[in-house]
Chains A and B, each alone.
Chain A
Amino acid sequence: MSYYDKYIKYKDFDFKGFFDKITDEDVLNSINKERLNEIDFLTLLSHKAENYLEIMARKSMNLTIQHFGKVIFLYTPLYLANYCINQCLYCGFNVTNKITRKKLEMDEVEKEAKIISDSGLRHILILTGESREHTPVDYIARCIQVLKKYFTSITIEIYPLDEHEYKELIMAGVDGLTIYQEVYNEDIYKNLHLSGPKRNYRYRLDAPERACQASMRSVNIGALLGLDHWRRESFFTGLHGNYLQNKYLDTEIGISLPRIRPHKGEFQPEFYVEDKHLVQIILALRLYMPRTGITLSTRERAELRDNLIGLGITKMSAGSSTEVGGHTLDEKSEGQFDISDQRSVDEIKNIIYKKGFQPVFKDWQAI
């Protein structure tokens, strides 16, 4: 079985009909359950549930503090390269975009690593576009060898791999995978990914599962919010997370909620996700999966990120750059998208303390 079977079960589900029938009592019943099922989760994503955000927020905060403590885990992305052969309409690295292409050499990786680790960060997320020619798995493994000297946890956000390749990278020192399906709606997926290997919906959809099978320590999934209606997309994301967590108990499943950001290219998202609705997704997810880590990146603006500390978020990026060599090189390339929260690691650290939470720089030790 694959998550695809689960997706198919709900693919033609009458979401509108379901949401229209939800009553206040349904929402309250779902909020008050100790263990929510997928129908409860969907109930909390309904229009009706928007009237109960405060009650959901209180429960979400309690659950988050109970399971994670008064802490926020910090990490930062490091872009190794932006070569890409995919044509994804919403992405700055799209093969048809005329941007400067760049790949870091090992000495440049080391320079970036030094600067980032000096800021106190110990967890790094490394990213590339999809190009097995420019950034093959063994290039990534070589980068990991360099980065291991500076970071205690290395997570990858790269093109999907086969299980044996995930195993190779785990052996090299990787402990986590981040991979977004971008959009669960298979029809929209085909329309947005015009060419390149990424057109293969199933291969991407099953990538998190292959990583679990390779015994990856943590796997983080998500949908790029704005590509289809968020109520559907966040439902499929939560369902995917729950599917993986039930099947692979020894992998920590996390969920990111990236909203689409401006980037190089003409694409305009069809669906806008308001702040209020982003909050609704976070709260519904927390109530549905109390132990799942939820990540909010610097895509979101500072003020919103600050307000969300304690409400369900457990992990944040800090001091981010989406450019290759963004921390050290004078001649930078274009970023994948524009970041919104431009504050330094120190500033973010201080604001987390001010909110009564502890910024945690190190939560894993390569063993």
Chain B
Amino acid sequence: MYDKLVIGGREINSRLLVGTGKFPSNSIIPDVIMGSGAQIVTVALRRIDFDSEDENMLNYIPQNCILLPNTSGARNAEEAVRIARLARASGCGNLIKIEVISDNKYLLPDNQETIKATDILSKEGFVVLPYMSPDLMAAKRLVDAGAAAVMPLGAPIGTNKGLKTREMIKILINEIELPIIVDAGLGKPSEACEAMELGAAAVLVNTAIATAKDPVAMAEAFALAVKAGRKAFLSGTGAVKEYAEASSPLTGFLA
């Protein structure tokens, strides 16, 4: 079965994207990435120490990975745009994940500013992956603004609460042509699996892996769950029914 994820015209061979924050040490990151099988790896530009051999996160990301710098710390569209440009100028490539957060309590994204930044950056030739609160109209505007995928949150970032926005995400999957990548909030492999079963194109996981007792094993577990969920989606899961359906129906005599 041919089943490739395509983002910005590029074929991606893994539907699990991973983050690099919150780990007890950068040195564990190569093993985590290997365990996860992820091809796309996101890094906050604010954390990259280009001048340090030991502390430069980029030195821990395998060469065959695609770097997805993110604009963590941006409080509005203008700051996100500046961070994105800095990332490109520093040699981090064309791909950018936009995070615009002006709420330090819940860390919820600002959709309006995200749309503005997406519009500006896609015109500048960036392949833009915006992180957003799942809202259909905002997602449509992101499509119009030139996004390459849409990344709705499953739950507030870092909460490990799972797919709390399930109904909204289902709507996005049904209505938006671009890949829907569920980002943030997924705390367990079963929740990543659930997102994939729904038809999400991919998921991005960071906290649940980084803060696990064994991050490498947890990365592997997420990889398996994502594969299982995708396969289930492609196989066509049976409809959920309210009443049991006997194989010898009571009204069979009517046929």
Residues of B within 8 A of A353 (CB): 24-25
Contact of B47 with A by CB under 8 A: yes
Which of B21, B45, B75 lies in contact with A365, CB distance below 8 A? B45
Q: Mark B41-75, 1 if CB is under 8 A from A, else 0.
A: 00001111100101100000000000000000101
Residues of A within 8 A of B26 (CB): 358
Bound Cα distance from A356 to B158, whole angstroms: 19
- Once A69-B210, A70-B211 are accepted as A-B contacts, the answer to whether A362 and B46 lie under 8 Å apart by CB is yes
Nearest CB to that of B215 among chain A residues?
A: A70
Which of B24, B52, B102, B207 lies in contact with A357, CB distance below 8 A? B24
Interface residues of A in 75-125 (CB under 8 A from B): 120, 122
Residues of B within 8 A of A361 (CB): 49, 52, 55
Q: Quick check: which of A3-11, A39-47, A220-228, A244-252 contacts chain B, the rest being far away?
A: A244-252
Residue contact B75 to A250, C-beta cutoff 8 Å: yes
Contact of B171 with A by CB under 8 A: no
Bound Cα distance from A345 to B214, whole angstroms: 28
Contact of B13 with A by CB under 8 A: no
Residue contact B52 to A365, C-beta cutoff 8 Å: no
Residues of A within 8 A of B105 (CB): 245-246, 249, 291
Contact of B174 with A by CB under 8 A: no
- Once A67-B158, A364-B46 are accepted as A-B contacts, the answer to whether A251 and B24 lie under 8 Å apart by CB is no
Which of B48, B75, B158, B210 lies in contact with A362, CB distance below 8 A? B48
Contact of A272 with B by CB under 8 A: no
Q: Which of A65, A246, A357 has the most CB of B within 10 A?
A: A65
Residue contact B211 to A69, C-beta cutoff 8 Å: yes
Residues of B within 8 A of A53 (CB): none
Contact of A68 with B by CB under 8 A: yes
Q: Quick check: which of B78-86, B117-125, B130-138 contacts chain A, the rest being far away?
A: B78-86
Contact of A367 with B by CB under 8 A: yes
Interface residues of B in 121-171 (CB under 8 A from A): 158-160
Contact of A71 with B by CB under 8 A: yes
Bound Cα distance from A367 to B47, whole angstroms: 13
Give the shortest distance, in Å, between A346 (CB) and chain B (any CB).
11
Q: Mark A237-273, 1 if CB is under 8 A from B, else 0.
A: 0000000011001111100000000000000000000
Residue contact B22 to A71, C-beta cutoff 8 Å: yes
Residue contact A66 to B211, C-beta cutoff 8 Å: yes
Which of A69, A246, A356 lies in contact with B207, CB distance below 8 A? A69
Bound Cα distance from A122 to B56, whole angstroms: 12
| A-side interface residues, number (CB < 8 Å) | 30
Residues of B within 8 A of A357 (CB): 24
Give the shortest distance, in Å, between A289 (CB) and chain B (any CB).
9
Contact of A14 with B by CB under 8 A: no
Interface residues of A in 119-135 (CB under 8 A from B): 120, 122
Contact of B251 with A by CB under 8 A: no
Which of B45, B48, B104 lies in contact with A250, CB distance below 8 A? B104
Contact of A20 with B by CB under 8 A: no
Give the shortest distance, in Å, between B213 (CB) and chain A (any CB).
10
Residue contact B104 to A251, C-beta cutoff 8 Å: yes
Give the shortest distance, in Å, between B84 (CB) and chain A (any CB).
10
- Once A66-B207, A70-B210 are accepted as A-B contacts, the answer to whether A249 and B73 lie under 8 Å apart by CB is no
Give the shortest distance, in Å, between A9 (CB) and chain B (any CB).
22
Give the shortest distance, in Å, between A152 (CB) and chain B (any CB).
8
Contact of B103 with A by CB under 8 A: yes
Interface residues of B in 1-53 (CB under 8 A from A): 21-26, 45-49, 52
Contact of A363 with B by CB under 8 A: yes
Residue contact A367 to B158, C-beta cutoff 8 Å: no
Contact of A360 with B by CB under 8 A: yes
Nearest CB to that of A252 among chain B residues?
A: B104
Contact of B234 with A by CB under 8 A: no
23 of the cross-chain contacts (CB-CB < 8 Å) are A66-B160, A66-B207, A69-B22, A69-B207, A71-B21, A71-B22, A71-B24, A122-B49, A249-B103, A253-B104, A291-B107, A353-B24, A356-B24, A357-B24, A358-B26, A361-B52, A362-B46, A362-B47, A364-B46, A364-B73, A365-B48, A365-B73, A367-B86
Instruction: Report which B residues bind A (CB closer than 8 A).
Output: 21-26, 45-49, 52, 54-55, 73, 75, 79, 82-83, 86, 102-105, 107, 158-160, 207, 210-211
Apart from A67-B158, A68-B22, A362-B46, list 18 A-B contacts with CB within 8 A.
Answer: A66-B158, A66-B159, A66-B211, A69-B211, A70-B210, A71-B22, A120-B52, A246-B105, A249-B104, A291-B104, A291-B105, A353-B24, A353-B25, A362-B48, A362-B52, A363-B46, A365-B45, A365-B73
Nearest 6 A-B pairs (CB), nearest first?
A69-B22, A70-B24, A250-B102, A362-B49, A367-B82, A249-B103
